[in-house]
């Protein structure tokens, strides 16, 4: 069992969780990921390592609440435990000989871009960071990035931070003003595809981090399969970083949306139809308190009434 050290909301749908897992903290490097299972019945969900502290033995992940498992993660408090953590997995990022870099983070991808950009800056690279969000309430890690970035540009779709536009708009401008050795793009697949289209005419190497569906994380299940330069690769063992100009993004987007309906159904099934609260995971408990309303669970009372009225 893995203890949760802290768990905080960075915005309404994103949490930062620190867990105590010394063997992983000892070996973790930027670009790698872990597989987390919240309980014995839970799925193994991949999360990029956002930070680590070898002395304290802690690893940090940043999680967007998008489905049943991430919802469950967001409910955990300091002192609670995770069922298991596997890792570090994947090939660490290597940027030998790079002197200037542009790092692009889209939405939650910013949390994954952050450790890579920080690692580059600590290695003496001039790093410009571009991040993009739907609105200003969703902006992540702006202060943290300012600590090391040569320049940071934060874009919002609705312009609520005074900087309306997409990350690709800002990247195009910076590319025209600078000679980057590498561009790193991390975020939604469509964003990474568009970034590659911007960088292609400049001939600048563009690295993308493929957030594929993963199951075993060891290259055996094929869940994270993608096509790179016409060859089949597995994000968990061959990546997650790849040359963006060689990735078949259209195929990756088709595969990435395969389970969207199922995930949505799971989320809805997990919500109480009477109170809108999250249904308790306690089975056969005599009295269950609604987590949202703090009252005895009305579903169970209704089931009890129906059952006894039939006797
Ligand atoms: Fe199974 Fe990559 S997660 S092959």
Pocket test for ligand 1, best of 47, 219, 259 (most atoms within 8 A of CB): 219
The predicted structure's pLDDT at residue 129: 96
- Are 34 and 142 members of one domain? no
Nearest residue to 251 via CA among 213, 283, 277: 213
For residue 267, being part of any structural domain is answered with: no
CA 293 to centroid of chain Cα atoms = 30
The total number of structural domains in the chain stands at 3
- Are 108 and 60 members of one domain? no
Q: Which residues pair with 101 in a beta bridge?
A: 127, 182
Q: Whose CA is nearest to atom 1 of ligand 1?
A: 221
Give the ligand 1 atom nearest the CA of 213.
3
Range of the structural domain that residue 112 is part of: 100-256
Pocket test for ligand 1, best of 224, 228, 233, 240 (most atoms within 8 A of CB): 224
Strands 182-186 and 205-209: parallel
The predicted structure's pLDDT at residue 266: 56
- Are 246 and 226 members of one domain? yes
- The tokens describing 109, both together, are 């991808």
Nearest residue to 14 via CA among 107, 151, 117: 107
Dmax over CA atoms of the chain, in Å, equals: 79
For residue 264, being part of any structural domain is answered with: no
Task: Please write the tens of the pLDDT for every residue from 107-140.
Answer: 888 888 888 898 899 889 999 999 999 999 889 8
Ligand 1 surroundings by CB, under 6 angstroms: 214-217, 219-224, 234, 236
The predicted structure's pLDDT at residue 35: 92
- Are 77 and 106 members of one domain? no
Give the ligand 1 atom nearest the CA of 223.
1
From first to last of its 311 residues, the chain has per-residue pLDDT tens of 899 999 999 887 889 999 999 999 999 988 889 999 988 877 888 888 888 999 999 999 988 888 888 888 999 999 999 999 998 998 888 888 899 999 999 988 888 888 889 889 988 999 999 999 999 988 988 999 999 999 999 999 999 988 999 999 999 999 999 999 999 999 999 999 999 999 999 999 999 998 777 777 888 888 889 999 999 999 989 989 999 999 999 999 888 766 666 555 555 555 555 665 655 444 444 455 665 666 666 666 665 555 555 55
* Residue 171: other Cβ atoms inside 10 A: 25
- Are 9 and 83 members of one domain? yes
Task: Please write the tens of the pLDDT for every residue from 195-249.
Answer: 999 999 999 999 999 877 777 788 888 888 999 999 999 998 998 999 999 999 9
For residue 94, being part of any structural domain is answered with: no
- Are 172 and 283 members of one domain? no
Q: How far is CA 219 from CA 14, 102, 270, in A?
A: 28, 30, 31
Pocket test for ligand 1, best of 36, 223, 226, 242 (most atoms within 8 A of CB): 223
3-class SS letters over 247-265: ECHHHHHHHHCCCHHHHHH
The predicted structure's pLDDT at residue 277: 60
The predicted structure's pLDDT at residue 128: 96
The predicted structure's pLDDT at residue 68: 82
The predicted structure's pLDDT at residue 255: 82
- The tokens describing 176, both together, are 């025209």
- Are 66 and 154 members of one domain? no
The predicted structure's pLDDT at residue 157: 93
The predicted structure's pLDDT at residue 309: 57
For residue 230, being part of any structural domain is answered with: yes
Nearest residue to 213 via CA among 253, 264, 256: 256
- The tokens describing 69, both together, are 């498992």
Cβ(110)–Cβ(152) below 8 Å? no
What percent of the residues of the chain are helix, what percent strand, and what percent coil, each to the nearest 5?
Answer: 30, 30, 40
In whole angstroms, give the CA distance from residue 167 to residue 195. Answer: 8
For residue 95, being part of any structural domain is answered with: no
Q: How far is CA 188 from CA 161, 243, 253, 299, in A?
A: 21, 16, 9, 38
In whole angstroms, give the CA distance from residue 102 to residue 175. Answer: 9
- Are 171 and 217 members of one domain? yes
Tell me which residue has tokens 């905080």: 8
Centre of ligand 1 to C-alpha 117, Å, is 26
- Are 104 and 249 members of one domain? yes
For residue 188, being part of any structural domain is answered with: yes
Centre of ligand 1 to C-alpha 217, Å, is 4
Nearest residue to 217 via CA among 239, 248, 186: 239
Nearest residue to 40 via CA among 86, 98, 83: 83
- The tokens describing 82, both together, are 């995770």
For residue 33, being part of any structural domain is answered with: yes
Centre of ligand 1 to C-alpha 262, Å, is 20
Domain-ending residue, one of 88, 123, 142? 88
In whole angstroms, give the CA distance from residue 62 to residue 231. Answer: 31
* DSSP assignment of 11-52: ETTEEEEEEE-HHHHHH--TT-EEEEESSTTS--EEEE--EE
- Are 206 and 107 members of one domain? yes
The predicted structure's pLDDT at residue 283: 43
- Are 106 and 246 members of one domain? yes
- Are 133 and 249 members of one domain? yes
């Amino acid at each position: 069992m893995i203890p949760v050290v802290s768990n905080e909301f960075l915005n309404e749908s994103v949490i930062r969780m620190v867990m105590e897992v010394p063997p992983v903290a000892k070996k973790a490097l930027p670009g790698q990921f872990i597989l987390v299972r919240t309980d014995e019945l839970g799925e193994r969900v991949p999360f990029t390592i956002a930070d680590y502290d070898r002395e304290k033995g802690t690893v940090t992940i940043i999680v967007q609440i998008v489905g049943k498992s991430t919802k469950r993660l967001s409910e955990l408090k300091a002192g609670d435990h995770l069922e298991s953590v596997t890792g570090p997995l994947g090939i660490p990022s290597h940027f030998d000989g790079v002197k200037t870099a542009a790092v692009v983070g889209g939405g939650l991808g910013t949390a994954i871009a952050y450790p890579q950009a920080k690692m580059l800056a600590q290695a003496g690279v001039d790093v410009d960071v571009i991040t993009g969000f739907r609105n200003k309430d969703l902006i992540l890690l702006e202060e943290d990035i300012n600590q090391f970035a040569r320049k940071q540009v934060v874009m919002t779709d609705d312009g609520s931070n005074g900087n309306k536009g997409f990350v690709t708009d800002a990247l195009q401008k910076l590319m025209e003003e600078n000679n980057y050795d590498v561009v790193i793009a991390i975020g939604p697949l469509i964003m990474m595809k568009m970034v590659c289209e911007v960088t292609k005419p400049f001939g600048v190497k563009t690295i993308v981090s493929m957030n594929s569906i993963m199951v075993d994380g060891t290259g055996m299940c094929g869940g994270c399969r993608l096509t790179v330069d016409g060859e089949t690769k597995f994000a968990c063992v061959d990546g997650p970083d790849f040359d963006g100009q060689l990735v078949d993004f259209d195929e990756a987007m088709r595969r990435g949306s395969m389970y969207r309906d199922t995930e949505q159904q799971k989320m809805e099934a997990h919500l109480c139809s009477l109170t809108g609260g999250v249904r308790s995971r306690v089975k056969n408990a005599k009295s269950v308190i609604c987590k949202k309303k703090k009252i005895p669970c009305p579903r169970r009372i209704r089931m009890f009434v129906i059952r006894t009225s039939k006797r």
